[in-house]
């Protein structure tokens, strides 16, 4: 994700008391997503905040979340919404907005009336498609059209490795082997960061007359099962008789096409393959390694593909219902939400009296009986921690222990099968990982751990939520990212910002998790059950099915096609069971049957 970051610091009167960081989290031609992180760096609580900024003439901010927005001409003011206004020392809070056009930059910012400083320049635009302008036996020269905006220089990438850096729009990559094939992209950069990557270009060095073939290009995997994987690659340059597929130094397959299926693999393990072209003169250079994670992982006490739904322990415009009324389409029910206590990390849970009244009476004993009844129907019930208003904080070893102890006590008291981490107001990945591992040690291997991060939390592995997911990958059940209330976001191709409410949005953002460390059985799609359940990103359930088919089989995709298939994709989540009831169970009745058709 290319992002513009700006630290907004109040003036001397509030020195070290609070700071606000502005990030242009995503940018496309017609708009951008802006995001603020406010941090209380002082030693006393911050009671309320207000950020004001100017937008250029012709620019506008169309919507915001987690803040109250008002406008006077081109001056916009954002105030806390009550629950996120009081920040303890060291605490942070976020809010975001959608602005237009993509090139617009805020200026004249203030935080609680103190000047914030000037906005920095945005990241450059995407460079034009590079072309191969010349080759020798050991080099490839490229040229491309200049990026828009302020440009310090350009970096030429081969995969994730920088192969050349310069200030002009040409570069020569040297020290290559003869008759090798290489694929490059170009990114512009300045003080704010890097632009989106250019379109890729592939070139081959000279020296292909006679001799061994050139280096094989990027190898990709598809149709991965627990014991096999199909590999594909572009044709090598030069005279080619066939190709040999290696796992380490072991020959796994010999073919005369540019695809091969490798079998006899071990389930739920990572395998690395290289491919070499050969002819009568010998083998060419090995391709770059391709990593494959086989299926067959232990999916725990839940089905291979399953549907998750949240149940409301509160009253809102959706249908109020007792937990036991959850229909059979749901495999996993997340009770929303556990409550914070005065002890950091410690959880509590009680039935909401207003909810009990709304459903005609509901006691703790009846609630526990409903959980037992769901268990008898083969369902699992977990306790969700957080939510939009949740203030659970796990920021120390002591808080981690309190979290684990209290979560386990609630599991024992009510019969919960695990926990869902839905902390929308920030988390400490290190201490939350400690808490979940301590809970696993208490509860055993059948403990269910799910997560429900926002899209911004999973844009890269540097995000706290993503760090947490990867650090507990060995005990994590599934990540149900919320594909809603987010505006447009970059996908794993980093070439476009996809609009929420589309198949492309779901598949391109799921691809980020799938290509950056999480197993397919640890990734599911979280969507609203219908109108009213979210402020944006509501889709027809049939579109959820389309996205799942695209990810699992590589068919029925939108314009974005994932780089490989993920037959083990885990399923779907919806907010919420109550909102599904409000829409005649359209979500669960549409999505649950489709899960049975996945590989």
CB within 8 Å of 12: residues ≥ 6 apart = none
Separation of alpha carbons 393 and 396, rounded Å? 9
Instruction: Assess contact for 288 and 314: CB atoms under 8 A.
Output: no
Q: At 181, which helix (H) or strand (E)?
A: strand 181-190
Length in residues, the chain: 599
- Neighbour order of strands in the sheet with 50-54: 68-72, 75-79, 50-54, 107-111, 114-115
Q: Work out the angle between the directed axes of helices 586-595 and 541-553 (0-180°, nearest 10).
A: 20
Helices (H) and strands (E) in the chain, counts: 9, 39
424 a catalytic residue: yes
211 three-state secondary structure: coil
Ramachandran sector of residue 310 (left: φ over 0; alpha: ψ -120 to 50; beta: rest): beta
- DSSP type of residue 226: S
Cis-peptide, bond into residue 441, ω within 30° of zero: no
275: nearest Cα among 296, 297, 254, 298:
254
Q: Which two tokens stand for residue 430?
A: 């290190």
Cis status of the peptide bond prior to 408, with omega within 30 of 0: no
Options 194, 320, 329, 424, the catalytic residue? 424
CB 344 within 8 A of CB 402: yes
Cβ atoms of 503 and 491 within 8 Å: the answer is no
Catalytic residue positions? Answer: 424
């Amino acid at each position: 994700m290319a992002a513009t970051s700006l630290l907004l610091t109040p003036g001397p009167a509030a020195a070290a008391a609070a700071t606000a960081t502005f990030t242009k989290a995503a940018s496309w031609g017609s708009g951008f997503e802006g995001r603020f992180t406010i941090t209380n760096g002082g030693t006393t609580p911050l009671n309320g905040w207000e950020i004001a900024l100017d937008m250029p003439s012709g620019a506008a901010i169309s919507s915001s979340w987690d803040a109250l927005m008002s406008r006077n001409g081109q001056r916009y003011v954002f105030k806390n919404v009550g629950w996120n206004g009081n920040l303890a020392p060291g605490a942070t809070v976020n809010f975001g907005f959608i602005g237009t056009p993509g090139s617009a930059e805020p200026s004249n910012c203030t935080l609680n009336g103190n000047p914030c400083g000037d906005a920095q320049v945005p990241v450059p635009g995407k460079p034009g498609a590079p072309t191969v302008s010349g080759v020798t036996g050991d080099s490839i020269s490229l040229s491309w059209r200049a990026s828009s905006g302020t440009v310090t220089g350009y970096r030429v990438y081969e995969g994730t490795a920088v192969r050349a850096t310069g200030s002009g729009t040409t570069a020569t990559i040297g020290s290559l082997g003869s008759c090798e094939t290489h694929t490059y992209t170009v990114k512009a950069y300045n003080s704010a960061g890097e632009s989106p990557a250019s379109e890729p270009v592939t070139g081959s060095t000279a020296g292909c007359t006679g001799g061994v073939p050139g280096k094989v290009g990027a190898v990709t995997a598809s149709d991965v099962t627990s014991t096999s994987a199909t590999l594909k690659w572009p044709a090598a340059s030069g005279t080619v008789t066939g190709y040999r597929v290696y796992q380490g130094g072991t020959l796994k397959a010999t073919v005369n096409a540019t695809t091969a299926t490798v079998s006899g693999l071990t389930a739920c393990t990572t395998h690395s393959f290289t491919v070499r072209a050969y002819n009568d003169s010998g083998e060419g250079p090995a391709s770059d390694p391709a990593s494959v994670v086989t299926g067959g992982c232990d999916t725990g006490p839940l089905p291979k593909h399953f549907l998750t739904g949240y149940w409301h322990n509160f009253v809102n415009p959706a249908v109020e219902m007792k937990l036991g009324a959850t229909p059979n389409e749901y495999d996993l029910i997340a009770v929303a939400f556990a409550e914070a206590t005065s002890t950091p990390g410690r959880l509590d849970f009680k039935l909401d009296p207003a909810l009990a009244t709304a459903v005609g009476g509901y006691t703790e004993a009846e609630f526990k009986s409903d959980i037992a009844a769901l268990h008898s129907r083969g369902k699992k019930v977990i306790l969700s921690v957080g939510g939009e208003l949740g203030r659970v904080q796990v920021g120390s070893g002591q808080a981690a222990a309190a979290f684990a102890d209290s979560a386990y006590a609630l599991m024992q008291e009510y019969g919960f099968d695990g926990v869902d981490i839905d902390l929308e107001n920030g988390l400490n990945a290190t201490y939350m990982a400690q808490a979940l591992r301590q809970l696993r040690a208490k509860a055993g291997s059948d403990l269910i751990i799910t997560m429900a991060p926002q899209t911004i939390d999973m844009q890269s592995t540097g995000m706290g939520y993503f760090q947490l997911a990867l650090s507990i990958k060995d005990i994590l059940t599934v990540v149900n990212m919320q594909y809603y209330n987010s505006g447009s976001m970059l996908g794993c191709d980093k070439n476009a910002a996809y609009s929420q409410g589309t198949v492309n949005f779901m598949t391109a953002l799921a691809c980020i998790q799938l290509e950056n460390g999480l197993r397919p059985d640890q990734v599911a799609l979280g969507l609203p059950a219908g109108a009213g359940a979210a402020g944006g990103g509501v889709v027809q359930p049939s579109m959820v099915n389309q996205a799942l088919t695209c990810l699992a089989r590589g068919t029925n995709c939108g314009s974005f096609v994932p780089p490989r298939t993920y037959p083990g994709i885990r399923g779907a989540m919806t907010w919420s069971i109550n909102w599904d009831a409000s829409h005649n169970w359209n979500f669960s009745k549409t999505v649950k049957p489709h899960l049975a058709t996945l590989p």
